[in-house]
Amino acid sequence: MVEPSYPADAHDFASDAEELERIDSAATEAPKGAVVVSAIAVAALLVGWLLLYFWIFIPRGTVG
Amino acid sequence: MALSERAILKSEVRWAIVVGSVVALILGAILFAAIAMHMNPPSNQEYADPKTLHLSPEFTEANLGTTVQPNGQIVARMIATQFEFVPNCILLPADRDVTLRITSPDVIHGLLITGTNVNTMVVPGYISQVHTRLTKTGDLLMPCHEYCGLGHSQMLATVRVVPPDQFRPDAQGRAACGNRG
């Protein structure tokens, strides 16, 4: 088994409380941003579909 | 503290509700149009022998064009053939229910009437039927939209939509575009 070797000046993130807090904060905040981006994308698609349906498809008259 | 498993589950359930609502809204709009406004994809299963079309009682040349049936139903019959529609102009009244019946003696064609929802394939051996109600008056283009051969791009007809009071069929119930019919 080969032991991993780290450079002597490597930062130990796992023991850095401030770094852990930043990672925690990112893991909490990032999903909120993803939800907002997804909501905007879904809303834009839905509005686009409704506009095409009610402004173009329906006024073009009945067919069957 | 990162999001807990519970918070993630909550977020996923919320998203499932949002997506379910979007799908339900779209399906609801489609169902409303289908049930309340009778807007459906044209569907008809009738056969016509493409080899003897010109001899058939319905699609013989003298019977093509717009006819007002004895029961008042307005029917426009056309043949889509390489590379024209026969007749190349049909006269229809606005704001009246009309039925289009089209078939082909040769290859697959398609047609749409610009600015309306009329859009169907015309397959040899079958009669395509579309019920519609045109609201805009004027000359509407009706091109073939299914590649049917070298002359496909030249294959188009006119649908002349006139106000109901200007739609005057003759004694036999036939109406045509005049010298363009």
Per-residue pLDDT reduced to its tens digit, A30-47: 778 888 898 999 999 999
Whether pTM exceeds 0.90? no
Query: Does residue B178 carry a pLDDT above 90?
Result: no
Is residue A12 over pLDDT 80? no
pLDDT score, position B179? 45
In this complex, the residue of A27, A31, A64 whose CB is nearest that of residue B38 is: A64
B18 CA to chain A: closest CA distance, Å? 9
In 10 A of CB B152, how many CB atoms? 17
CA distance A10 to chain B (A): 25
Q: What is the mean pLDDT of residues B152-172?
A: 94
B69-97: pLDDT as tens digits? 999 999 999 999 999 999 999 999 999 99
Most A CBs within 10 Å, among B3, B95, B129, B135, to test the A interface: B3
| Cβ atoms < 10 Å from Cβ of A30 | 12
The overall average pLDDT reported for chain B is 91
| Distance separating alpha carbons of residues B70 and A54, to the nearest angstrom | 36
Mutate to test the interface with A, among B6, B25, B114, B117 (most CBs of A within 10 A): B117
The residue to which tokens 């698609």 are assigned? A45
Cα distances (angstroms) measured from residue B77 to each of B44, B68, B88, B104: 15, 11, 11, 11
Predicted confidence band of residue B181 (pLDDT cuts 50, 70, 90): very low
Q: Which residues of A touch B31 (CB under 8 A)?
A: none
Contact call for B11 and A31, based on CB within 8 A: yes
Cβ contact (<8 Å) for A62 and B130? no
Residues from chain B that touch A61, judged by Cβ atoms under 8 A, are 116-117, 132-135
**Contact residues on chain B for A57, CB-CB shorter than 8 A:** 33, 117
